Amino acid sequence: MLINDGIITREELATVLPTDERFKKGPVAIIECMQDIPCDPCVSACPSKAISMKSGITDRPKLDAARCIGCGLCVPRCPGLAIFVLDMTHAPRSAALSLPYEMQPVPKIGQVVKGLDRSGKAVCEAKVLKVMSAKKFDKTHVVTIEIPKDRALDVRAIRLA
């Protein structure tokens, strides 16, 4: 359980996961924020206004998956580094996952890294497809990796060699 070990279970994840139909349409954000922390930078980060908090900044953010275009601008803005973008349409057998990265060294495009699940276990190899490092991202890089589709809901971190 998340509260005992920091690992989100499949049941907890289901409360924020976009539908299979939405995944078939292209990249979409997954906001893995499970607590009512007073916090709202994700709302203003989204250029498509797809993230909302109805009653105030302690609301858990709600993603309108239909409005979300998977641009990933929310990924570096979340103070909890809890937002990911998943593209299940990337290739027949692999998905593209974008995650926030704040370690040194920053991986390079084409580099093969280890994909880690939520317990830090290396579960697959992952090729780095893209690295976004804008000044306005303030030292949080957005790294996009290619992972097997059956790992798409597990891999949430990378380890360089």
Partner 1 sequence: MSRKTEILVVGGGPAGLSAAIVAAQLGSKVLLVDDNPNLGGQLVKQTHRFFGSSARDAGIRGFNIAEQLLEEAAGLKKNLTILLNTSIVGFYGDTEAGLLSPERYEKVTFERVIVCTGAVENSLNFENNDLPGVYGAGAVQTLMNVHGIRPGNRILMVGSGNIGLIVSYQLMQAGVQVVGLVEAMQTIGGYLVHASKIRRMGVPIYTGHTIVSALGTGGVAGAKLCRLDEKFQTVPNTEFDVECDCICLAVGLSPLIELFQQADCKMVHVGELGGLVPLHDVNMRTTNPHVYVAGDASGIEEATTAILGGRVAGARATESIHGESAEAAKVIADASSELRTLRSGSTGERIRWGREKIEKEIAAC
Partner 2 sequence: MSLRIGDHPVLSFKKGRKVSFMFEGQKMEGFEGEPIAAALHAAGVRLLRHSPHKHRPRGFFCAIGRCSSCMMEVDGEVNVMTCITPLKEGMVVNRQEGHGVIEP
Question: For the chain, how long is the longest CA-to-CA vector?
Answer: 45
Question: Which residues, listed in sequence order, are joined to residue 114 by a DSSP beta bridge?
Answer: 125, 159
In the complex, minimum distance from the CB of residue 107 to partner 2, in angstroms, rounded to a whole number: 12
Considering the complex, state which of residue 21 and residue 55 has its C-beta at the smaller distance from partner 1: 55
Single-letter amino acid, residue 60: R
Q: Which does 110 bind (CB under 5 to 8 A by kind): partner 2, partner 1, none?
A: none
In the complex, minimum distance from the CB of residue 101 to partner 1, in angstroms, rounded to a whole number: 11
CB 43 within 8 A of CB 23: no
Single-letter amino acid, residue 21: E
Considering the complex, state which of residue 11 and residue 138 has its C-beta at the smaller distance from partner 2: 138
Give the helix/strand (H/E) hosting 97: strand 94-101
Q: Which does 105 bind (CB under 5 to 8 A by kind): partner 2, partner 1, none?
A: partner 2
> Which residues contact partner 2 (rule: CB under 8 A)?
102-105, 139
In the complex, minimum distance from the CB of residue 42 to partner 1, in angstroms, rounded to a whole number: 9
Residue 55: which residues within 8 A CB-CB, separation 6 or more? none
> Which residues contact partner 1 (rule: CB under 8 A)?
2-8, 32-41, 43-45, 56-58, 77-82, 102-104, 116-121, 138-140, 156-157, 159
Residue with tokens 């973008």: 85
